[in-house]
C-alpha cells in the first residue's frame, strides 16, 4: 500500500468512527470513501455497530455494501440521513467541494442534500485556496444535444473535454448520462457559476457542492485533522 492509499484508508476509517448505532448513513463513492464503507462493514460484523441503515451513492458502492452485509434502504423509507461520508476532488477553506471524479456526482448530490452532516474525507493534495485550481468541474449532461452543452460551457470560459472510459469510449454514469469535464480555472464566484449551470436545459448536475459539507477530515503524514464547519 503506497502512502497516498494509506492516508485515504486512515481518513475513511476515522470518518467511519463518527457513525453511531441507530444512524441512517449515506455511503460515498470513490477510492477514499470505500475505506469508510469497509470500516462500517467491519464494525457491523463485530457488533460494535448495530441497527444502522444506509443509502449508497453508486452501483459500485451498493455492490460493496451488500458484500459487507450493510443493510440498505430506499428514499421511500428514509426522508433524511444523519451522516454521509464521501470523498472529494478538491475542497476549499470554506468546505466547498468539487466532486465527480468517480462519475457519481448526481447520486452523491441527491444523497448529500438530505443529509444532516456531510463529512468529506481527503488527503492534503485535495486542499486548495479556490476551487478549480487543480481540477475540472464534472458536468453531467444528457446524451441528446450534448455538443450544445459543450459550446455553452466554453462560452463561460471553460476548456471542455468529454470524459472517456478505460476503453476509450464515452463514459456513461449510472443514470445513463455523459460527463463533460469543464476546466474553468480558479472559480471566484461558485454560486454564480452554479446558478448558470442549473438554469441550462440539458445539464443534469454539476460537481460543485456549494455550502453542503459540515465536516472535513484530512489525513496527512503528520496526523489527522478534523475541521467542523456547517452542521444542518
CA dihedral sign of residues 221, 217, 132, 130: negative
- The conformation of residue 133, written as its DSSP 8-state character, comes to S
Q: Residues 217, 220, 223, 227: what is their CA dihedral angle, to the nearest 10 degrees? A: -20
- 128: CB partners within 8 A, 6+ apart: 90, 91, 92, 134
Q: Which region holds residue 140: left if phi is over 0, alpha if psi is between -120 and 50, else beta?
A: beta
Domain ranges of the chain: 3-124+211-221, 137-204
Assigned fold of 3-124+211-221: Rossmann fold (3.40.50)
What homologous superfamily does CATH list for 137-204?
A: ACT domain (3.30.70.260)
Does the active-site annotation cover 108? yes
- The conformation of residue 170, written as its DSSP 8-state character, comes to B
**Of residues 64, 108, 140, 205, which has the active-site annotation?**
108
CA–CA gap between residue 21 and residue 150 (Å, rounded): 45
Digitized pLDDT (tens) for each residue of the chain, 232 residues in all: 788 899 999 999 999 999 999 999 999 999 999 999 999 999 999 999 999 999 999 999 999 999 999 999 999 999 999 999 999 999 999 999 999 999 999 999 999 999 999 999 999 999 999 999 999 999 999 999 999 999 999 999 999 999 999 999 999 999 999 999 999 999 999 999 999 999 999 999 999 999 999 999 999 998 999 999 754 4
Domains 3-124+211-221 and 137-204 share a fold: no
- 77: CB partners within 8 A, 6+ apart: 53
pLDDT tens digits for range 88-103: 999 999 999 999 999 9
Query: What does the block give as the cell for 37?
Result: 464503507
Local structure of 111: helix, strand or coil? helix
Q: Residues 143, 145, 146, 147: what is their CA dihedral angle, to the nearest 10 degrees? A: 150
Pairing of strands 178-183, 159-162: antiparallel
Amino acid at each position: 500500500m503506497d502512502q497516498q492509499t494509506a492516508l485515504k484508508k486512515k481518513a475513511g476509517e476515522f470518518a467511519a468512527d463518527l457513525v453511531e448505532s441507530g444512524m441512517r448513513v449515506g455511503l460515498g463513492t470513490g477510492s477514499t470513501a470505500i475505506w469508510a464503507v469497509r470500516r462500517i462493514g467491519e464494525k457491523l460484523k463485530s457488533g460494535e455497530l448495530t441497527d444502522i441503515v444506509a443509502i449508497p451513492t453508486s452501483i459500485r458502492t451498493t455492490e460493496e455494501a451488500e458484500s459487507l452485509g450493510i443493510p440498505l434502504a430506499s428514499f421511500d423509507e428514509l426522508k433524511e440521513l444523519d451522516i454521509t461520508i464521501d470523498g472529494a476532488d478538491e475542497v476549499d477553506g470554506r468546505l466547498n467541494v468539487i466532486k465527480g471524479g468517480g462519475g457519481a456526482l448526481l447520486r452523491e448530490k441527491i444523497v448529500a442534500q438530505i443529509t444532516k452532516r456531510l463529512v468529506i474525507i481527503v488527503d492534503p493534495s485535495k486542499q486548495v485556496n479556490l476551487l478549480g485550481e487543480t481540477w475540472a468541474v464534472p458536468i453531467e449532461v444528457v446524451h441528446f444535444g450534448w455538443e450544445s452543452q459543450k459550446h455553452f460551457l466554453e462560452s463561460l470560459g471553460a476548456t471542455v473535454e468529454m470524459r472517456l472510459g478505460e476503453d476509450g469510449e464515452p463514459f456513461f454514469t449510472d443514470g445513463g448520462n455523459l460527463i463533460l469535464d469543464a476546466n474553468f480555472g480558479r472559480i471566484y464566484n461558485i454560486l454564480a457559476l452554479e446558478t448558470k449551470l442549473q438554469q441550462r436545459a440539458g445539464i443534469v448536475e454539476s460537481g460543485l457542492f456549494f455550502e453542503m459539507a459540515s465536516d472535513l477530515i484530512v489525513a496527512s503524514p503528520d496526523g489527522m485533522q478534523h475541521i467542523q464547519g456547517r452542521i444542518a
